[in-house]
Structure 1
Amino acid sequence: MLPLQTARLFIYPCRLPLLTEIYLRHPHAREALQAHIPENWPQPDLKEQLPHFIELLQHDPRSFPWMLWIIVSKEAGTVIGDIGFKGRPDKNGVVEIGYTLLPDYRRKGYMREAATSLVKWAFQQPHVRKLIAECDVTNTASMRVLQHLGMEEVSSSGEMLHWQLLNK
């Protein structure tokens, strides 16, 4: 069940203790993930969000596993990125996915592999009816991942494209 596994990846959902250890850069996080954690991970956007995730899980434990998941390369034994949702499914069964990879691991199909696995998991959960995402109009790599998932571009606002995928 958890972590999710693909041919090349482990994808670990983060419970509160692990999130806290990552935020504090505690050595136990490496042990929990059984992986090396590079100095450049978490990247700035995630680093900024970690306190919010920690607070949310403290006040709403049911938010697990609807937030951060960590992507670990089986071969390298290292954290290569993160993926997750921006909270639990809403009352209409909608969840929003987001993700990032460390630069050295981009353009190798890792995010396609991780996102496919996480979307499959999400659509197996009760009440998930639709997956949404957004990406910058210049982020062609992310657009390719979203297209591979079968997502449809539904709108744009400013520099952002908005995507959706219905659970069939």
Structure 2
Amino acid sequence: MISTARLDLVPLSREMMRALDNDRARFAELLDAEVAAAWPQADFAEVLPSIREWVERDRALEIWTYVIVLREPKRVLVGEIGYKGPPDSEATVEIGYALLPEARRNGYASEAVTALVRWALQRNDVLRVTAETVIGNDASERVLQRTGFRLIGIRSDSRWWEHV
């Protein structure tokens, strides 16, 4: 687990993912936090099957995907953050994150991104952290700018960022 001033970034373990499939109460118990009915949101729900496959094949991959838990006034899951897999052949990881709508505009994304980037760059196998935003997602771009990313390219409908 990675902790910040207000948040716990909790790795999605194999047991948590199995519980998430068929027993949300057990998932919440393992997480020791309330879990909103709206979680996971559509984008994360779409990638969860791939994440489950990775972790079922290799438990060491659990460290690349986290849920974001606000500790006060009560423990509640507010979003997710992680990397789109372990480092590639160039020691690069791509970060992704999302918050539930009710948790936005509180600085949680910036706090979580800062912590997870710091964690990755302290590892021997990571030299570079990148991110992609869909053009028009101004809030996510502001998070990246606040947390030390710079724009490195634009493709058809997205912008690419690198932590500096």
After TM superposition, the score normalised by the length of structure 2 is 0.94
Alignment of 1:48-63 (within 5 A): 48-63=46-61
| Per-residue deviation, 1:70 | 0.5
Residue of 67, 70, 76 corresponding to 1:70? 67
Counterparts of 1:26 and 1:132, CA distance in 2? 32
Contact 1:95 / 1:132 at 8 angstroms: preserved in 2?
Answer: yes
1:152 aligns with 2:150: yes
Counterparts of 1:59 and 1:73, CA distance in 2? 30
Contact 1:85 / 1:97 at 8 angstroms: preserved in 2?
Answer: yes
| Per-residue deviation, 1:20 | 1.9
Counterparts of 2:110 and 2:21, CA distance in 1? 26
**Residue 24 of structure 2: SS of its match in structure 1?**
coil
| Per-residue deviation, 1:141 | 0.9
Deviation per residue, 1:59-95 (Å, 9 max, x gap): 23332212x2000111131100000000000111000
2:62 partner amino acid: F
Counterparts of 2:105 and 2:91, CA distance in 1? 31
Alignment: residue pair count: 163
| Per-residue deviation, 1:152 | 1.1
Tell me how large the CA RMSD over aligned residues is: 1.2
Residue of 137, 141, 144 corresponding to 1:143? 141
1:112 partner amino acid: S
1:37 is matched with 35
**Residue 148 of structure 2: SS of its match in structure 1?**
coil
Structure 1 alignment gaps of length 5 or more: none
After TM superposition, the score normalised by the length of structure 1 is 0.92
1:111 partner amino acid: A
1:96 is matched with 94
**Residue 125 of structure 1: SS of its match in structure 2?**
coil
Counterparts of 1:23 and 1:78, CA distance in 2? 19
1:113 partner amino acid: E
2:82 partner amino acid: G
